[in-house]
Amino acid sequence: MHYIASGKKDGRAGTGCKTLQGTVTVYNGVDYSAVFDYNYYITNNGDIKAAFGDDDVAVLAHFVNYGMSESRRKNCEIACQEQRRMKMWKEFKKFAVRGNMLDLAVGVIIGGAFNSLVSSLVDNVIMPILSLVVGRLDFSNWFIALDGNHYDTLAQAQAAGTATVNFGMFLSGVLNFIIMAFVVFLIVKVMNRLFHGKEEPAAPTEKTCPFCKSKIPLEATRCPHCTSMLEIEG
């Protein structure tokens, strides 16, 4: 109330802002925020600033009724577009340099290389050894022809245009997944052992009261549960 009654007239600052904030952009139910910026309009049109000052409603009314027809809209629209571009650029820069995004990018690159390594290990080392033990497993011709006819191979059924349920291909995918998951598990287990070594057990912080068998702090000299005096361990 003081600012409205006297402070503004005395030239007192109401906030630390140098420009009017939260200005009106809607006039007669139409939002002109895409082409109108109050601070730009009065800064670049001294006659408007002198005539209306900080009356943002009157400034917007002038822009709608006279400014656009006087070609003042073009410069204001350019300024609004520039502000939106700068805001988008700042948001993108903040997003691009965010730490977890960089970590994610590194993780994706290393993950792709690791996937190639594991696939090569499974295809070129594990599967040949497994084939020697259990024989070469081929599930590709395990299928059901939905037309009721018998086909020796899946290729024959597909050449005849028959719809098929290829459960053998699904079993092959499941088997490959299990083998690859187990190989990844072994690799991770070995890597953890190499880099982290054997973890030492944490030092105990509690002991058992010899009278009530409750867990109490290691340094306690009296049990908080049964109030028994305890011997200090040397």
- In tens, the pLDDT along 150-171 reads 888 888 888 888 888 888 888 8
| 132 shares a domain with 170 | no
Which H or E run includes 164?
strand 164-165
| 220 shares a domain with 160 | no
| 190 shares a domain with 161 | yes
Domain assignment present for residue 10? The answer is no
What range does the domain containing 170 cover? Answer: 137-200
Q: Are strands 164-165 and 26-27 parallel, antiparallel or unpaired?
A: unpaired
- Map residue 76 onto helix, strand or coil: helix
| 164 shares a domain with 114 | no
Domain assignment present for residue 11? The answer is no
DSSP 4-59: IIIITTTT--SSS-SS--S---EETTEE-TTT--HHHHHHS-HHHHHHHTT-HHHH
Q: To the nearest whole percent, how much of the chain has pLDDT over 90?
A: 0
| 208 shares a domain with 163 | no
What does the pLDDT look like over 173-201, one tens digit per residue?
Answer: 888 788 878 888 888 888 888 876 666 67
- Contacts (Cβ under 8 Å, ≥6 apart) of 105: none
Structure tokens at 141: 């011709």
Structure tokens at 64: 């709608």
| 146 shares a domain with 112 | no
Q: Are 52 and 62 in contact (CB under 8 A)?
A: yes
Domain assignment present for residue 8? The answer is no
Tell me if the pTM is above 0.75: no
- Map residue 208 onto helix, strand or coil: strand
Last residue of a domain, one of 136, 156, 187: 136
| 170 shares a domain with 157 | yes
Which among 69, 27, 33, 62 is positioned nearest to 48, based on CA atoms? 62
Domain assignment present for residue 9? The answer is no
| 21 shares a domain with 88 | yes
| 119 shares a domain with 67 | no
**94-119 exposure pattern, b = at least 16 Cβ within 10 A, e = fewer:** eeeeeeeeeeeeeeeeeeeeeeeebe
Q: Using pLDDT thresholds of 50, 70 and 90, give the confidence band for residue 101.
A: low
Last residue of a domain, one of 96, 127, 152: 96
- Contacts (Cβ under 8 Å, ≥6 apart) of 60: 23, 24, 25, 27, 32, 36, 38
Q: Using pLDDT thresholds of 50, 70 and 90, give the confidence band for residue 1.
A: very low
Count of C-beta atoms within a 10 Å radius of residue 28: 7
Examine the pLDDT at 139 and tell me if it is beyond 50.
yes
| 147 shares a domain with 130 | no
| 73 shares a domain with 104 | no
Q: What is the mean pLDDT of residues 69-96?
A: 68
- Contacts (Cβ under 8 Å, ≥6 apart) of 127: 179
What is residue 135's predicted lDDT score, i.e. its pLDDT? 66
Last residue of a domain, one of 40, 70, 96: 96
Domain assignment present for residue 177? The answer is yes
Quote the number of domains for the chain.
Answer: 4
Examine the pLDDT at 205 and tell me if it is beyond 80.
yes
Which among 121, 134, 144 is positioned nearest to 190, based on CA atoms? 121
Q: Whole-angstrom distance between the N-terminal and C-terminal Cα of the chain?
A: 73
Examine the pLDDT at 17 and tell me if it is beyond 70.
no
Least confident of 1-15, 21-35, 123-137: 1-15
Which H or E run includes 171?
helix 167-196
Domain assignment present for residue 2? The answer is no
Domain assignment present for residue 3? The answer is no
What is residue 76's predicted lDDT score, i.e. its pLDDT? 56
Q: Using pLDDT thresholds of 50, 70 and 90, give the confidence band for residue 41.
A: confident
Domain assignment present for residue 7? The answer is no
| 116 shares a domain with 69 | no
